[in-house]
Amino acid sequence: MYPRILIDLKKIEENVDVISSKCSARNIWVAGVTKVFCADSKITDAMINGGVTYLADSRIQNLKKFEGIEIQKYMLRLPMMSEVEDVVRYCDVSLNSEYETIKAIDKVAGEQGKVHKIILMADLGDLREGIFDENELVKTAGKILELKNIQLKGIGTNLTCYGGVLPTEKNLNKLINLKKAIEKEYHVTIDLVSGGNSSSLYLIDENRMPEDVNMLRIGEAFVLGRETTYGNRIPDTHDDTFVLEAQIIELKEKPSLPIGELGMDAFGNHPEFEDKGIMKRAICAIGRQDIDPEGLISVDARIDVIGASSDHLILDMSAAGDSYRLGDTVKFKLTYGSLLKAFTSEYVEKVYV
């Protein structure tokens, strides 16, 4: 059945091995982030075999799938009040920034006879989650330390997600100083400094990762073999771990400019077109419900993606000559956003190779 996504478990395991070995050589623990592949169990196993220390996901439905796996589980997204019971039941650790939520977790952990671990999140300027004000962060840590069923396991940050702010020695040292301030103020030791996601890996390569950062949460680099600071390929990794195949349902020569009075497209946009004369165009049976057309990279470099509606992907096949016929499939590598959509779409079959 098409469309389908071919998943190379061996290549994923090799990617995880290469990157996590590099981290452990620097005494950095690695959480394997599973959300982009919806915590698929075979891919999760490949991550574990590749050498991750923890599993991490932002959705509780995904974390529930890990029940029975003997590895510490991290809830990445700040817990909703409505999911606190499940977070305590299915996760060992959660990332938090709101004292009210942590207090609710403490109560539930008491009821479940558990001690739940917290990574307290600092916002270093990317302006997604985390406490922005330094004094407020240290004070919140003090209040957390008084809770009986909560262990303040670490301090963390998330960068390059909303604001595009890069991790640097400067902002990560700020995180380390916050940890030290908490330790000094309350006479405790804090085990973990969780210094970000795939975009922090470049600091290891450039030998600029601050000594005290001892944990990273890695998703994209593992699955796509790409670091996310500069978008470079990571040496000795694979970028074709996932290959999407879509089938051609129409193949015809047509003009490149629409004919008639132009209004809105299916998504309310006013598209613009360039006149490239008559083109050989293919339609594949896949659409925006399953992918972002901008996030498809044709394996055959002669093929260009022109656009897509909900269920139709339109390709410029002019340079491909007579290589393709109706019913043939076209292969694509995927960016993170398209991979996320393709995995989430129940219309895309998942096949392991």
Ligand X SMILES: *Cc1c(COP(=O)(O)O)cnc(C)c1O
Residues with a known catalytic role = 35
By the 10 Å C-beta count (0-12 exposed, 13-18 middle, 19+ buried), 184 is classed as exposed
Radius of gyration for the chain, computed over Cα atoms and rounded to the nearest angstrom: 23
Tokens of 333: 């590598």
Within 10 angstroms of residue 71's Cβ, the number of other Cβ atoms is 15
On whether the CB atoms of residues 238 and 221 are closer than 8 A, the answer is no
On whether the CB atoms of residues 76 and 34 are closer than 8 A, the answer is no
Tokens of 201: 């890996």
> What is the distance, to the nearest Å, from the Cα of residue 292 to the centroid of all Cα atoms in its chain?
16
Do the bridges between strand 349-352 and strand 4-7 make them parallel or antiparallel, or are there none, so unpaired? Answer: parallel
CB of 62 to ligand X, least distance (A): 11
On whether the CB atoms of residues 178 and 186 are closer than 8 A, the answer is no
Pick the closer one to ligand X by CB: 95 or 213: 95
Pick the closer one to ligand X by CB: 94 or 247: 94
Pick the closer one to ligand X by CB: 123 or 220: 220
CB of 323 to ligand X, least distance (A): 35
Please name every residue paired with 6 in a beta bridge, in sequence order, or none if there are none: 243, 351
Tokens of 184: 């000094």
On whether the CB atoms of residues 119 and 194 are closer than 8 A, the answer is yes
Pick the closer one to ligand X by CB: 12 or 95: 95
Within 10 angstroms of residue 209's Cβ, the number of other Cβ atoms is 22
CB of 95 to ligand X, least distance (A): 6
On whether the CB atoms of residues 249 and 325 are closer than 8 A, the answer is no
* 94 CB-side CA count, 13 A: 33
CB of 263 to ligand X, least distance (A): 38
CB of 256 to ligand X, least distance (A): 36
Pick the closer one to ligand X by CB: 221 or 279: 221
DSSP string, 234-258: PTT--S-SEEEEEEEEEEEEEESS-
Pick the closer one to ligand X by CB: 171 or 228: 228
CB of 110 to ligand X, least distance (A): 26
φ and ψ at residue 137, rounded to 5 degrees: -65, -45
Residue, CB closest to ligand X: 219
CB of 255 to ligand X, least distance (A): 41
Pick the closer one to ligand X by CB: 220 or 292: 220
| Residues in touch with ligand X (CB under 6 A) | 33, 35, 58, 76, 95, 158, 197-198, 217-221, 228
